[in-house]
Amino acid sequence: MKKSALQIARAAYRPQLPNVLDGPVKVKEGEPTVSAGDQEEIKKLFPNTYGLPEIVFEKAGTAAQSKPLNVGVILSGGQAPGGHNVISGLFDGIKAINKNSRLYGFLMGPGGLVDHNYKELTADIIDEYRNTGGFDIIGSGRTKLETKEQFDKGLEILRELEISALVIIGGDDSNTNAAILAEYYKAIGAGVQVIGVPKTIDGDLKNNVIETSFGFDTATKVYSEVIGNIQRDCNSAKKYWHFIKLMGRSASHIALECALQCQPNICIISEEVEAKDLTLDQVVDDIAQAVVARADQGLNYGVVLIPEGLIEFIPAVKRLIAELNDLLAAKAEEFAAVEPEAQRAWIISNLSKENAATYESLPAGVARQLSLDRDPHGNVQVSLIETEKLLSEMVGKRLATLAQEGKYKGKYAAMHHFFGYEGRCADPSNFDANYCYGLGYTAAMLIAAGVTGYMSSLRNLTFAPVNWVAGGIPITMMMNMERRHGHMKPVIRKALVELDGAPFLKFVKERENWKIGTCYTYPGPIQYFGPAEVCDQPSLTLVYEQKRRKY
Ligand code: FBP
pLDDT per residue over 323-381, tens digit each? 888 888 888 889 989 998 899 999 999 999 999 998 988 877 788 888 776 766 666 77
Q: 531 alpha carbon to ligand 1 midpoint, in Å?
A: 33
Non-local CB neighbours of 92 within 8 Å, separated by 6+ positions: 437, 440, 441, 444
Q: What whole-number percentage of the chain has pLDDT above 70? A: 98
Task: Check whether 27 has a pLDDT greater than 50.
Answer: yes
**CA pair distance 522, 227, nearest whole angstrom:** 8
Beta pairing class for 414-419 and 241-246: parallel
Query: Measuring CA to CA, which residue among 501, 476, 70 is closest to residue 256?
Result: 501
Q: Check if the beta carbon of residue 106 is closer than 8 Å to that of residue 117.
A: yes
- Residue 173 CA: nearest ligand 1 atom is 2
Which residue, among 152, 161, 141, 225, has the nearest Cα to 185 in the 3D structure? 152
| Residue 33 in this model has a pLDDT that exceeds 90 | yes
**Can you give the pLDDT at residue 414?**
97
246 lines ligand 1 (CB under 6 A): no
What is the rounded CA–CA span in Å between residue 386 and residue 538?
A: 30
What's the pLDDT score for residue 364? 79
How confident is the model over 392-432, as pLDDT tens digits? 989 999 999 999 999 999 999 999 999 999 999 999 999 99
Mean pLDDT of the chain: 94
289 vs 235, 268, 276, 292, CA distance in Å? 20, 14, 18, 5
Residues with Cβ within 8 Å of residue 14, at least 6 apart in sequence: none
The confidence band for 153, taking pLDDT boundaries of 50, 70 and 90, is: very high
What is the DSSP code (8-state) at residue 526?
-
Q: Around Cβ 298, how many Cβ atoms within 10 Å? A: 8
Residue 362: partners with Cβ closer than 8 Å, 6 or more residues away = 317, 370
Distance, CA 390 to ligand 1 centroid (Å)?
21
Q: pLDDT: is 517 or 363 the higher one?
A: 517
Q: Give the relative orientation of helices 364-371 and 343-350 as an angle to the nearest 10 degrees.
A: 70
- 147 C-alpha to ligand 1 centroid (Å): 23
* Residue 451 · residue 10 · CB < 8 Å: no
| Section 206-219 average pLDDT | 96
The average pLDDT across 286-314 equals 96
Helix (H, G, I), strand (E, B) or coil at 106: strand
On whether the CB atoms of residues 202 and 174 are closer than 8 A, the answer is no
Residue closest to 82 by CA, chosen among 220, 201, 168, 226: 201
Helix, strand, coil content of the chain in percent (nearest 5): 45, 15, 35
Gap between the Cα atoms of 297 and 421, Å rounded:
36
* Ligand 1, atom 7: closest residue by C-alpha: 78
Does ligand 1 have an atom closer than 6 angstroms to the CB of 251?
A: no
Selecting among 172, 202, 204, 536, the annotated active-site residue is: 202
- Looking from the CA of residue 249, the nearest atom of ligand 1 is 12
Residue 548 confidence (pLDDT): 61
Query: Pick from 472, 314, 453, 488: which is nearest to 390 by CA?
Result: 314
DSSP label at 501? S
Q: Is the pLDDT of residue 453 over 90?
A: yes
Residue 550: per-residue pLDDT: 46
pLDDT digits (tens, 9 = 90+) for 79-108: 999 999 999 999 999 999 999 999 999 999
Q: Is the pTM for the entire model greater than 0.85?
A: yes
Round to whole Å and give the CA distance between 298 and 411.
Answer: 10
Alpha-carbon distance values, 222 to 383, 425, 508 (Å): 18, 10, 23
Higher pLDDT, 362 or 121: 121
**What pLDDT shows up at residue 432?**
98
Comparing 68-77, 132-141, 356-365, 402-411, which segment has the lowest mean pLDDT?
356-365
- Ligand 1 atom 18: the closest Cα is on which residue? 78
For the Cβ of 200 lying below 6 angstroms from any atom of ligand 1, the answer is yes
Q: What is the rounded average pLDDT of the residues 301-315?
A: 94
Distance in angstroms (rounded) separating the CA atoms of residues 271 and 193? 37
Residue 321 pLDDT: 87
Check whether 438 has a pLDDT greater than 50.
yes
- Residue 202 falls in the annotated catalytic set: yes
Q: Are 211 and 459 in contact (CB under 8 A)?
A: yes
- For residue 247, the CA-to-ligand 1 centroid distance in Å is 8
Residue nearest to atom 11 of ligand 1 (CA): 249
* Closest atom of ligand 1 to CA, residue 420: 8
Contacts of 149 (CB under 8 A, 6+ apart): none
Question: Does position 390 have pLDDT exceeding 80, yes or no?
Answer: yes
Q: Is 111 left (phi over 0), alpha (psi -120 to 50) or beta?
A: alpha
**Residue from 74, 200, 369 to probe ligand 1 pocket by mutation (most atoms less than 8 Å from CB):** 200
